[in-house]
A and B are shown apart, each in its own frame.
Chain A
């Protein structure tokens, strides 16, 4: 290793970190110890690195960011003894201020959407089975985010355009209607022109579900599914049903029996 090569390697070295035990840097550091000029360069380089690192470390998140994240993405489970009636009154999808603003926009734009958008103009050829297959593929094996996610800016635009499929609470099983913590996530997706809303839901026991919501007017030949139809794909169970002009597909990791139980419980109540 010559001096130039050692300098190149040492550019990526940060003292006091796990780099100290990384063999990649060992030979270059050894060379620096024997070469005063190289060592002087390394010390000056480290001083400059410290300056930049300190500048970045002084970036502080805005007040309330952590709380907003926690409010938006998760909720504590309601206490078991909490009055059921009180929980049922507070079906709140979001408590984040900007999302509440968007929800208000949605209400205003809904009427516009119903009159302006003509779903049948789209040439989508989606069956329930194809939708379930696509939903299934959303959960990638390595945990990497699916490419269909859109950013907040686009999400806002879609809310403002009223192009967001929103579930009706009374179309859902009772266990998914209760409490403040019914939903803690929303993703707007576009599957080759088919607008799909995916809501992340919790039941009262903390079990998590993904609910895909699709306007049936975009679809061809969708049967009326007054009772759920079940399907299992690679360890994920799906229940499909319709309500009004909406197709719902509920997904949960695990056997179909769990979803059946959810709907059975719903009907028993």
Chain B
């Protein structure tokens, strides 16, 4: 682990955010807990090599995401749909907000959008990272992150509107 940072402080600062990210990806409390623990185990092993303390947060989220992808690759064949990123979609109008969403409903909603868009959207809404950091964590270009956020939010709005219509 990084020499100038205490392990306990790192855990205290980031375990909640990491768990939220893991839970949003897995929708499973146990898997999210395992992923969060595994991330810190890797940090305990490899954290020494992080030279810049300001990079620790991104490193942890990157590590958690890679661990998640490894699990995905073993359980199914991921099909990343690479869309033409240059084409701009006209953003849809935001739905009128009349209620609050709980954690489970939010995660359910996020998991209904295409996998390609879901991960950047989750990181966007967790608000822990700039879009540049999101690009680094997901290992995709910055322009692609912005495109996926835009498309993902369009899907999310449509899903939310449908859900609201059903409730009514």
Decide yes or no whether A80 CB sits under 8 A from chain B.
Answer: no
Question: B94 and A47: CB pair below 8 A?
Answer: yes
**Count of A-B contacts judged by CB separation below 8 Å:** 181
Digitize A65-76: 1 where CB-to-B-CB distance is under 8 Å, 0 elsewhere: 110111011100
Q: Tell me the minimal C-beta distance from B42 to chain A in angstroms.
A: 5
Question: A185 and B15: CB pair below 8 A?
Answer: no
Question: A12 and B145: CB pair below 8 A?
Answer: yes
Digitize A51-70: 1 where CB-to-B-CB distance is under 8 Å, 0 elsewhere: 11111111111100110111
Decide yes or no whether B44 CB sits under 8 A from chain A.
Answer: yes
Decide yes or no whether A265 CB sits under 8 A from chain B.
Answer: no
Which residues of chain A are near B46, meaning CB under 8 Å?
139-140, 143-145
Q: Tell me the minimal C-beta distance from B127 to chain A in angstroms.
A: 6
The count of chain A contact residues (Cβ–Cβ below 8 Å) is 57
Which of A106-114, A150-158, A211-219 has 4 or more CB atoms under 8 Å from chain B? Answer: A150-158
Binding site for A on B (CB under 8 A): 7-8, 11-12, 15-16, 19-20, 23-24, 29, 33-34, 36-38, 40-50, 59, 62-63, 66-67, 70-71, 74, 88, 90-91, 93-97, 100-103, 105-107, 109-110, 122, 124-127, 130-131, 145-147, 149-150, 153, 156-157, 160
Binding site for B on A (CB under 8 A): 4-5, 7-9, 11-12, 14, 17-19, 22, 41, 44-45, 47-49, 51-62, 65-66, 68-70, 72-74, 139-145, 149-154, 184-185, 187, 200, 210, 253
